[in-house]
Amino acid sequence: MKTVSLILFILVALTTACEKKEPQPVDEAVVLDVEDSPVGEVPLANNGPCDNIFYPMALDNQWTYQIQIEGEGRIPEFSELGLTVAEVNDSSAILAALDYDTGIVTKSTVDCDNGAIINFPMTELNLVFGEVAGDILLAYTSGIFMPSEDAFISGGWTNTWKTDFSASGLISGMFDNNPVTVNLTNSPVSMDWQLSEKDLTLQVPAGIFNDVVLIKRKLTFDISSLKATFEGQVLDISTTLVINTNIWYAPNVGLLKQDIDSATINLYGINFPIESIGMIELKSSNLVK
C-alpha cells in the first residue's frame, strides 16, 4: 500500500508542477480586488476572440478561488488562488495567477479562436500535495480546451471533446522522508470532456448561481518510465493515472466548482482506486460589465 501512496504522491505532484512559469513582479494591473460581485448578475458579452461562455477572458475580469486539500491526519487545509485577465490580444489573453499564501504572481497565455478556448494554463490542477520542486513543461498538442457558445448550441448542449498535451521535465520531492525524482519525456496527457447536465442551481462561497452546467472530465496521464527509491527498493515501472473530475460552470461567469469524482492508478496491470485529493470553489468574482 505504501508503494501505491508513493506513486500517487508523484503523479499528483506532476499535475501541480505542470506549465510552471517564472514569478512576475506584482503590479497594480494584476493585484486582485477580492470584493464580491453581485450574485447572479451576468456581465454583457464583450464579443472578443477570447470571450468564451465558460472562460470569459475579458480584460480585467477577476476570480478568487478557495482550494481545499486533505492534509496530515485527513484534516482539511485551505489556500486561495486569484486569477485576473491582465491582457487581451487578437487570438490570446494573458492570465495572471496570484498565490495568496506567497504573494507571488505568475502569468500564462490563454490561446483562443472566435470564442473557443484552445489552450488554457493548468491553474485548475494546482492542488498542493506535499513539498515538490521541478520544471515540468506541459505542451499543448491538439484539441480544444473549451468550445464556443455557438458550438454548444449546435451540439444541443450534449457536446463531447478532447484536449491532448505532452509533459516533459524533471520533478523531485519527499515522501516518508525518502527523496523521489521523476523524469518525463513527451509523456502523453489527455483530457476527455462531456457536458453532462445543464440548467442546474449551485451554491458556492461566492453565492447561488442558476443556469449552471456540469461538465465531466477524464484526465489520463501516461508515464512510460517512473524511477524512485523507496525503503531501499528501486522502482522502475510504467503507469497510468486516471482522474475523473466534476466541474460546474456558470455562463459568462466561469468556473464555480471542481472536485474529484474518482481516481485510479494502474500498477503492474491492476487498477487501484485512490481517494479524492481536493476541491476548488469560487469565493468571489469581479467581472467587467
* Cα–Cα dist 224/237, whole Å: 7
* Cα–Cα dist 104/80, whole Å: 12
Residue type, 104: I
Asked if residues 45 and 274 have their Cβ atoms less than 8 Å apart, the reply is: no
Q: What is the pLDDT of residue 227?
A: 64
Cell of 172: 523531485
The domain segmentation of the chain, as residue ranges, is 2-22+41-286
* DSSP code at position 49: T
* Cα–Cα dist 8/206, whole Å: 31
Q: What is the pLDDT of residue 19?
A: 42
Asked if residues 252 and 45 have their Cβ atoms less than 8 Å apart, the reply is: yes
3-state secondary structure of 6: helix
Cβ atoms within 10 A of the Cβ of 183, count?
15
3-state secondary structure of 187: strand
Q: What is the pLDDT of residue 120?
A: 87
pTM: 0.79
Asked if residues 61 and 84 have their Cβ atoms less than 8 Å apart, the reply is: yes
Q: What is the pLDDT of residue 253?
A: 96
Q: What is the pLDDT of residue 208?
A: 97
Q: Which residues touch 276 (CB under 8 Å, ≥6 apart)? A: 70, 259, 260, 263
Residue closest to 171 by CA, chosen among 221, 134, 128:
134
Residue type, 236: D
Q: What is the pLDDT of residue 163?
A: 94
Q: What is the pLDDT of residue 279?
A: 86
Indicate the Cα dihedral angle 150, 152, 157, 160, nearest 10°.
160
255-261 contacts at long range (C-beta below 8 A, 24 or more positions apart): 255/54, 255/55, 255/63, 255/65, 255/124, 255/280, 255/282, 256/202, 256/204, 256/206, 256/209, 256/212, 256/281, 256/282, 257/202, 257/204, 257/281, 257/282, 258/124, 261/216
pLDDT tens string, the chain, 289 residues long: the values are: 444 444 444 444 444 444 444 444 434 333 333 333 333 334 334 457 888 999 999 999 999 999 887 655 566 778 898 999 999 998 999 999 898 888 988 888 999 999 999 998 764 433 323 334 456 677 889 999 999 999 999 999 999 999 998 888 776 665 556 666 666 778 888 999 999 999 999 999 999 999 999 999 998 888 776 666 666 777 677 778 888 899 999 999 999 999 888 888 777 777 878 765 678 999 999 998 6
